[in-house]
Amino acid sequence: MAEKATAPQKSKGLWESPFTSSLAKRDRVTPPEVIFGYFLGPFGGLLASGIFTSQLQNYFTDVLRLDLSFLTALQLVSTVLIVIANLMVGQLIERTHCLAGKARPWILLSALTLAVSTVLMFFVPFEGMARMVWIAIAFNLYYSVAYPIYNTANSTLVAVSTRDTEKRGTMASFTNIAGFGVMGAGTMVFPILVSFFLKEDQNLWLLAMSAIALFTLITVYLQFRFTRERITEEVSASQTEGEQKEAPSLARQLSSVTHEPMWWVIIVAYLLYQFSGAFKNGSMVYFCKWVLDNSYFGTAEAWGASQSLLSIMGALPMAAAILFVIPLCNKFGKQRVCIVGMIVGVIGGIIAGLGGSIVPVAAGVAIKCLGSAPLGYMILAMLADVIDHIEYKNHIRTDGLTMSIYSCIAVAATPICNAVFSGILAGVGYDQAANVALGVAAQTAAAQTAIASCYIWVETVAFAICGVLLLFFTVEKNLPAEQAALKERNEGAAPEAERA
C-alpha cells in the first residue's frame, strides 16, 4: 500500500523565529508591552544620548581638550547630515513592509548600531589632527546613523501601536518618562561619577560608556520583542498585495502635513521645547561649575553635587507628575493641561532666574520642570493624534515623515545648541584651562551671564511661546469620530478573503 503523501511543512520566516517573533500577542496593549516596549527599551536606547546631552560637550572641551572652533564647525556641519539621515530613515520606515511591521525591524538594527557607535565615541587612539578626524567620524556614526534609525523608529511605534487614545497616552507618557529618566541619569548620576571618579581619565570614560553600550544592546532588543504594530497590521489588511509595495510619495506626504495647521502647531511647539531644553542641559555643567557658589557643599570642586541637586529637584516633580498628568489629560484634554503646565513652567523659570543662590534656583527649577511635564509626556500622543487626523482627511499615513522630522528635532537639538553654545563661550572669553577649585572667580562676569542665560532664560521664554501656540491645538475635538470612521474605512476596504 502506497504511503500517503504529506504536504511539506512551511519553513518559518525571519520574523517568526524564536529570537525575532513578537511577544505582544494580544490585540490590546498589555502591561509587559508598556514596560519593556515603551519604558525599559527607550530608556536603554536613549541612555547614551542623555549622557551626551549633559556631558559630551564637557568631555570634548575638558577631557579631550578639543578646539572650540573645531567643535562649533563639527556640530553645525553634522546637523546637515543629521537632518538628511532622519528624513531618509523616515522614508525607509514608510516603505518597509514585513511581518514585523515597518518600524520594529529598524528597532532591531539600532540595537547594534547604537552600541557600536557609543563605544567608538570614547575609543580615541589618536592625537592631534587624527584625533579630530576620528571624533568627527564617530560623532556622525552616532548622530547621523545610529540615533536617527532608533529615534525615528521608536517615535513611530506609539503612532502605529493602537488607536486607543488612552493607551496611546499611556505609552507616550512611559516613552517620555524614559526620555526624562535618561536625562536624569545624565544630569544626576553621571556628573557625580565624572567629578569624583572618571575626572579626566579617558580610559575610565571608555570603560563606563562600554558598559552603557552593552545595556543599550540588551534593552533595545527587548523592546523589539515586546512591541507590536496593530495599526500597521490594520492598514496592511485593507490593502492588496500590490498596494502594500508602494508607499505614498514624499511629495504627497509633505503636502499632507504642511497643509495641516495642527501639524505645524505641535511641531513648532516641540521644536521650541526641545531646543530650549538642549540649551539648558548643555549649559548645566558650566552653570554648576562657574555660576553657582558650590561652597554650600564644602568646596568649589563639588560642582557635581550641585548639578545632581538641581537634577533631582527637576526630576522629582517630573516623576510625581506622571501620577496626575494622564488622568488630567483624559478628563480635561491634552491641550488644556499642557497650556496650564507651560504657565507653571514660566513662573518657575522666573523664580530660578531671579534666585541668585542654590536654594531659590533649585526651587525654581523644580517648579519649571513640573510645568514642563504635561507637554513632555504627551507630545508623542499629540503627534499621533495629528497623524490620525491627517489620515482621516487625506487617506494616507504620514508616520514615517512626521516621526523623522520629530527625530530630526530631537537629535539635531543637542549638536546645534552645543555648537551655538561653543560659539558663545568663545565669544565671551571662556577659559578652558580654568581651575575649578577657584569656583566662580575663575571665569569672567560675561561668561557667567551667558551661561546663566542659556541655562535658565532660554527655556523660560520658549515655554511662554509654547503656551500661546497650544491655544490653537484643537485636533482632539473631533478625534473620536474621525478614528471611528478610519476603522470603518479600513475594515470596509479589506479584501473579501480577509473579511471572510
CA gap 189, 186 in Å, rounded = 6
Q: Mean pLDDT lowest for which of 61-70, 179-188, 330-339, 465-474?
A: 179-188
**Hey, what long-range contacts does 14-21 have (CB within 8 A, 24 or more apart)?**
15/98, 15/99, 15/100, 15/105, 16/99, 20/100, 20/108, 20/224, 20/225, 21/225
pLDDT exceeds 70 at position 177: yes
pLDDT at 94 over 90: no
Non-local (6+) Cβ contacts of 500 within 8 A are: none
pTM (predicted TM-score): 0.69
Q: Does residue 490 have a pLDDT over 80?
A: no
Cell numbers linked to 495? 479584501
Model confidence pLDDT, tens digit, residues 344-359: 999 999 999 887 778 8
Burial class, 440, CB count within 10 angstroms (exposed 0-12 / middle 13-18 / buried 19+):
middle
**Vertex 337: Cα angle to 334 and 341 (nearest 5):** 130
Task: List pLDDT tens digits, range 240-253.
Answer: 544 554 667 888 98
Is 94 within 8 Å of 102 (Cβ atoms)? yes
Residue 455 has, within 13 A of its CA and on its CB side, a CA count of 27
Is the pLDDT at 1 greater than 60? The verdict is: no
Q: How far apart (Å, rounded) are the C-alpha atoms in residues 475 and 386?
A: 7
> 265-288: per-residue pLDDT in tens?
999 999 999 999 988 888 888 888
Per-residue pLDDT tens for 419-438? 888 888 888 888 777 766 66
Q: CA angle, 55 as apex, 209 and 133 as ends, to 5°? A: 75
**Dist CA 151 CA 405 (whole Å):** 11
Residue 3: per-residue pLDDT: 47
For the segment 326-339, the average pLDDT, to the nearest whole number, is 92
Residue-level pLDDT at 285: 81
400-to-152, 154, 236, 316, 495 alpha-carbon distances in Å: 8, 11, 15, 34, 25
Buried b (16+ CB within 10 A) or exposed e, 175-191: bbbbbbbbbbbbbbebb
Highest mean pLDDT among 233-247, 280-294, 459-473: 459-473
Model confidence band, residue 492 (pLDDT cutoffs 50, 70, 90): low
| Mean pLDDT score, 44-70 | 85
C-alpha count within 13 angstroms, C-beta hemisphere, residue 498: 15
Q: Which three cell numbers stand for residue 42?
A: 527607550
* Mean pLDDT across 109-118: 94
Only one residue has cell 529637584, namely 313
pLDDT at 111: 94
Band (pLDDT 50/70/90 cuts) for residue 296 is: low
Query: What is the DSSP code (8-state) at residue 313?
Result: H
How far apart are the C-alpha atoms of 165 and 411, rounded to whole Å? 26
Taking the C-alpha atoms of residue 52 and residue 68, their distance in angstroms, rounded to an integer, is: 17
The pLDDT, as a whole number, for residue 498 is 42
Q: Which residue is it, cell 575626572?
A: 199
CB atoms within 10 A of CB 99: 15
3-state SS class at 219: helix
Would you say 405 and 385 are in contact if contact means Cβ atoms under 8 Å apart? no
**367 closest CA partner among 347, 337, 353:** 347
Q: What's the pLDDT tens digit per position in 363-378?
A: 999 999 999 999 988 9
pLDDT over threshold 70, residue 465: yes
390-414, pLDDT tens digit by residue? 999 998 888 878 888 887 887 778 7
